[in-house]
Amino acid sequence: MRTRRSVRHPVPALAALLLAAALALTGCSAGDDASGGSSSAADRADGKGVSGEAAPGGTGSGAKATAPPKLATSHIIRTASLTVRVKDVPKALDQARTGVENAGGYVGNETTTRDAGGHERTRVVLRVPVEKYEEVLADLEGSGKLLDRSAKAEDVTDQVVDVESRIKTQRASVARIRELMDQATKLSDVVTLEGELSTRQADLEALLARQKSLKDRTSLATITLSLSETPVKKEAKDDDPGFVDALAGGWSAFVTMLRWLAVAFGAVLPFAAVAALVVWLWLRVVRPRLPRRPAPAATALGPLPTARPAPESAQPGTPGERD
């Protein structure tokens, strides 16, 4: 009986010991969780994620997923053409030039002509910054009576991106060729690499020139402005012609006739001069050298007598001869 008691008594004690150890472990894990939670909160306040890396903008890993994507810049070529009728072309041109220069642009090609009626017409190319394009265009349209207007916008964003990418690739290619040239030991290899380097540098310069042209055309808009003067209205006159009008008309017709005669004489004069020269050469040079016709042949006794007709009485068959 004592032996059974000694066996039964250690079991409850062991169970109690295990229960106390489990409670102690549970308390320690709870404390660790609390401290871990506080450290996580501190890390989030410092702008760090769970992995300890700083998130963009200091907002944590969650803010990184909600950040707005960066939009690509658009590259647009803007061109416009205006035809405006004004009373004074030089004055309107000065105003347009001043407005463009104040906007940060400049004046390109300029052409001025004057028609038969004395009306002046000017065509000028203006380059203005894109951000001032609409403002300058509105000012030019209001400078007079708008006769014609056309505008065009061409999106070349793809071309700009493509050129930039090709420039980066070409620069890397040129750098690789230069590295190979530094490592080359044979003269033939150096000559081959120099030729390849020249070709790739030429391609790179062409791409850079195209990039510069695209940048100029997208940063500055082109406006072609045509200015023409307003025809001056003439005073109304009496339609009935008088003596002075008839005299003026006759004199105008006479002057016109003389002008046409002078034109006709001027047109015929070269031909007449050539014909006179040909006749002179014929009479002075060619004709004296031509062989002359031979004179009639003569005998030693002199020229042969010519036959004379017989008299009527001596003719045979006449009555006087029969007698």
* Per-residue pLDDT tens over the stretch 34-64: 444 444 433 443 444 434 444 444 444 444 4
Say what the pLDDT of residue 39 is. Answer: 42
Say what the pLDDT of residue 239 is. Answer: 58
Kindly state the helix (H) or strand (E) to which residue 289 belongs, with its residue range: none
Q: What would the DSSP string read from start to end of 87-134?
A: S-HHHHHHHHHHHHHHTT-EEEEEEEEE-TTS-EEEEEEEEEEGGGHH
Average pLDDT over residues 236-248: 68
- Of all residues in the chain, the percent with pLDDT exceeding 90 is 33
Residue 265 three-state SS: helix
User: How many whole angstroms from its chain centre is CA 63?
Assistant: 48
Say what the pLDDT of residue 5 is. Answer: 44
Q: Is the dihedral of CA 131, 132, 135, 137 positive or negative?
A: negative
Please tell me the total number of residues recorded for the chain in this structure. Answer: 323
Q: What is the pLDDT of residues 161-188, one digit of tens each?
A: 999 999 999 999 999 999 998 888 888 8
Q: What is the pLDDT of residues 183-241, one digit of tens each?
A: 888 888 889 989 999 999 999 999 999 999 999 999 999 999 999 886 655 544 555 66
**What is the Cα–Cα distance from 180 to 172, expressed in whole angstroms?**
13
Residue 223 three-state SS: strand
Say what the pLDDT of residue 57 is. Answer: 42
Please indicate whether residue 216 or residue 31 has the higher confidence score (pLDDT).
216
Please indicate whether residue 15 or residue 273 has the higher confidence score (pLDDT).
273
Average pLDDT over residues 9-24: 48
- What pTM, to 2 d.p., does this model score? 0.47
pLDDT tier for residue 288 given thresholds of 50, 70 and 90: confident
Number of helices and strands in the chain (H, E): 9, 5
CB-based burial, 55-73: b 16+ in 10 Å, e otherwise: beeeebeeeeeeeeeeeee
Q: Is the dihedral of CA 38, 39, 41, 45 positive or negative?
A: positive
Contact (CB, 8 A) for 118 and 234: no
Please indicate whether residue 58 or residue 66 has the higher confidence score (pLDDT).
66
Say what the pLDDT of residue 3 is. Answer: 42
Average pLDDT over residues 121-141: 91
Q: Is the dihedral of CA 127, 130, 134, 135 positive or negative?
A: negative
- Letter for the amino acid at 31? G
User: How many whole angstroms from its chain centre is CA 84?
Assistant: 23
**What is the Cα–Cα distance from 231 to 114, expressed in whole angstroms?**
12
Contact (CB, 8 A) for 120 and 114: yes
DSSP β-bridge partners for residue 80 = 151, 223
- Letter for the amino acid at 136? V
pLDDT greater than 80 at residue 18: no
Say what the pLDDT of residue 31 is. Answer: 45
Average pLDDT over residues 113-138: 88
pLDDT greater than 70 at residue 21: no
Neighbouring C-beta atoms of residue 167, cutoff 10 Å: 16
Say what the pLDDT of residue 114 is. Answer: 84
pLDDT greater than 90 at residue 128: yes
